[in-house]
């Protein structure tokens, strides 16, 4: 089915992203995967190309365009190129809205120009060794010391954790407040007592630096509180919808890409004297996946449009996230199977997509948590 949500401007932007991938990302990607990290130069190149801060107001060096479809194009192209390691989407669509939506004028002037140029790479640190799905279990504390916050605790699984120059940390500011006692505290590179732990060794997305962070008596200036004191939970709930639709967009894009390369593969690969595609079982496999992808595409595109218009709610974002990523997981597994032994070889894109994509049903809220959100909304 013809997609109908994009204009010529979006198509032109897609070409820009493709050129950027071809010139600035793909030639280096193998090395980045070996290094376990991308280069800072790629971030600066993305800034020069106007791929950072798409929705940030122009006065701070951003694109000034809040049409979410541009972000969707970026996510689709990076996914289909097999290059999730350069986490522009995390920076633009997950951390960006906290800075633009909650930042004071002074904070925006301080952080946004570097955010848009690629000089300030960002991360968000919610998860801790003992608290992932249940953010009420967060133990990192930010004590009010009058003229500063005293930050203590540790975080894990933080994307961009090694490269980040600015980390939005979720910390307890009112110890007995439960979910209502959490705040967003911005920690900047170089703060005394802020240390990075291991760059974690993952099964996929090898070039994405996912790290542990430690905060030992870090004195954070009072003016680095982002948003309301004790208001983090509400801020997170407001912004997580965008994170989830972004993961869904990548999920369906990955599934479609896997289907495309596998369709080609089964036409070329021969067994028992004819192409695999002549076998009914193979045709049924492809037919089922194509149907599931088409149905999912329709729903996700509808969510993209609603989100661009500002109307996508948390429940539909959760539906899109769990559905599209579980589809991605199923399609990756079936496509790998259809490649036979070659599918298990890392040099084949299907193998890389299988391991790179496996995280999709876990981060940004697991499938189970998405179902909890949906179920609660229906059965409250
Ligand atoms: C590569 C990677 C990148 C990440 N990036 C970031 C990042 O940038 N910032 C950040 O803060 N975090 C990040 N995370 C963390 C990620 O968001 C968490 O791993 C995720 O939220 C799950 O938390 P957990 O690992 O503690 O699992 P747990 O919460 O311990 O869950 C374990 C299992 O129990 C299930 N479960 C838990 N609660 C329920 C429930 N109520 N009902 C049913 N089932 C339940 C879960 O669905 C899961 O299957 C990242 C993780 C990875 C692996």
pLDDT in tens, 68-88: 999 999 999 999 999 999 999
By CB atoms closer than 10 A (0-12, 13-18, 19+), residue 137 is exposed
CATH for 234-379, options being 1.10.390.10, 1.20.140.10, 3.30.420.10, 3.30.70.2390: 1.20.140.10
Task: Enter the DSSP assignment of 52.
Answer: S
**Lowest mean pLDDT, pick from 5-19, 231-245, 332-346, 348-362:** 231-245
Is 15 catalytic? The answer is: no
CA of 244 to the centre of ligand 1 (A): 13
CA of 76 to the centre of ligand 1 (A): 23
CATH for 8-120, options being 1.10.540.10, 1.10.20.10, 3.90.209.20, 3.90.1150.10: 1.10.540.10
Top pLDDT among 208 and 380 is at 208
Q: Are 349 and 80 in contact (CB under 8 A)?
A: no
Q: How many residues are present in the chain? A: 380
Q: Are 163 and 40 in contact (CB under 8 A)?
A: yes
Q: How far is residue 10's CA from residue 337's CA, in Å, rounded to a whole number?
A: 35
Q: How far is residue 339's CA from residue 35's CA, in Å, rounded to a whole number?
A: 28
- Rounded to the nearest 10 degrees, how much is the dihedral formed by the CA atoms of 50, 51, 53, 58? 20
Span 123-230: which CATH code? Answer: 2.40.110.10
For position 115, what pLDDT does the model report? 98
Q: What is the mean pLDDT of residues 272-301?
A: 98
- Residue ranges lining ligand 1, Cβ < 6 Å: 123-127, 132-133, 157-159, 202, 210, 359, 362-363, 365-366, 368-369, 372
Q: How far is residue 290's CA from residue 296's CA, in Å, rounded to a whole number?
A: 10
Q: Quote the tokens at residue 172.
A: 């307890």
Q: What is the mean pLDDT of residues 222-249?
A: 95
Using the predicted structure, report yes or no on whether residue 47 has a pLDDT greater than 90. Answer: yes
For position 196, what pLDDT does the model report? 98
Q: Which atom of ligand 1 is nearest to the CA of 368?
A: 47
pTM confidence score = 0.97
Using the predicted structure, report yes or no on whether residue 350 has a pLDDT greater than 90. Answer: yes
For position 249, what pLDDT does the model report? 98
Q: Bridge partners of 198?
A: none
Q: How far is residue 308's CA from residue 313's CA, in Å, rounded to a whole number?
A: 12
Taking only the tens place, the pLDDT of each residue in 89-135 is 999 999 999 999 999 999 999 999 999 999 999 999 999 999 999 99
Listed by start position, the domains of the chain span 8-120, 123-230, 234-379
Choose one of 131, 133, 358, 361 to mutate for the ligand 1 pocket test, by most ligand atoms within 8 angstroms of C-beta. 133
For position 1, what pLDDT does the model report? 87
């Amino acid at each position: 089915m013809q997609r109908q949500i994009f204009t010529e401007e979006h198509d032109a932007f897609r070409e820009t992203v493709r050129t950027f991938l071809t010139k600035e990302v793909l030639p280096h990607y193998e090395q980045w995967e070996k290094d376990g990290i991308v280069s800072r130069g790629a971030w600066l190149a993305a800034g020069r190309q106007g791929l950072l801060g798409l929705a940030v107001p122009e006065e701070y060096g951003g694109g000034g365009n809040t049409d979410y479809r541009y972000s969707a194009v970026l996510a689709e192209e990076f996914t289909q190129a097999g290059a999730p390691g350069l986490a522009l989407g995390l920076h633009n669509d997950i951390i960006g809205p906290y800075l633009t939506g909650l930042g004071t004028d002074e904070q925006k002037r301080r952080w946004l120009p570097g955010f848009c140029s690629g000089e300030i790479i960002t991360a968000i640190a919610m998860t801790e060794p003992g608290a992932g799905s249940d953010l009420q279990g967060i133990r990192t504390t930010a004590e009010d010391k009058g003229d500063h916050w005293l930050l203590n605790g540790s975080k894990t699984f933080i994307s961009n954790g090694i490269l980040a120059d600015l980390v939005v940390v979720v910390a307890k500011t009112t110890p007995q407040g439960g979910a209502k006692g959490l705040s967003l505290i911005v920690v900047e590179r170089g703060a005394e007592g802020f240390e990075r732990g291991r760059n974690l060794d993952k099964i996929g997305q090898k070039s994405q630096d996912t790290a542990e962070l430690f905060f030992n008596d870090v004195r954070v200036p009072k003016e680095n509180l982002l948003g309301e004191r004790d208001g983090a939970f509400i801020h997170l709930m407001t912004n997580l919808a965008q994170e989830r639709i972004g993961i869904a967009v990548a999920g369906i894009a990955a599934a479609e890409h896997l289907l495309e390369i596998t369709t080609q593969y089964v036409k070329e690969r021969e067994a028992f004297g004819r192409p695999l595609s002549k076998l009914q079982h193979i045709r049924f496999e492809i037919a089922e996946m194509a149907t599931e992808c088409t149905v999912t595409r329709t729903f996700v595109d509808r969510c993209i449009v609603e989100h661009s218009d500002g109307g996508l709610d948390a429940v539909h974002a959760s539906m899109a996230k769990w559905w599209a990523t579980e589809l991605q997981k199923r399609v990756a597994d079936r496509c790998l199977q259809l490649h036979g032994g070659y599918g298990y070889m890392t040099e084949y894109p299907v193998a890389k997509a299988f391991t790179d994509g496996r995280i999709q049903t876990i981060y940004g809220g697991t499938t189970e948590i998405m179902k909890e959100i949906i179920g609660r909304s229906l059965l409250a």
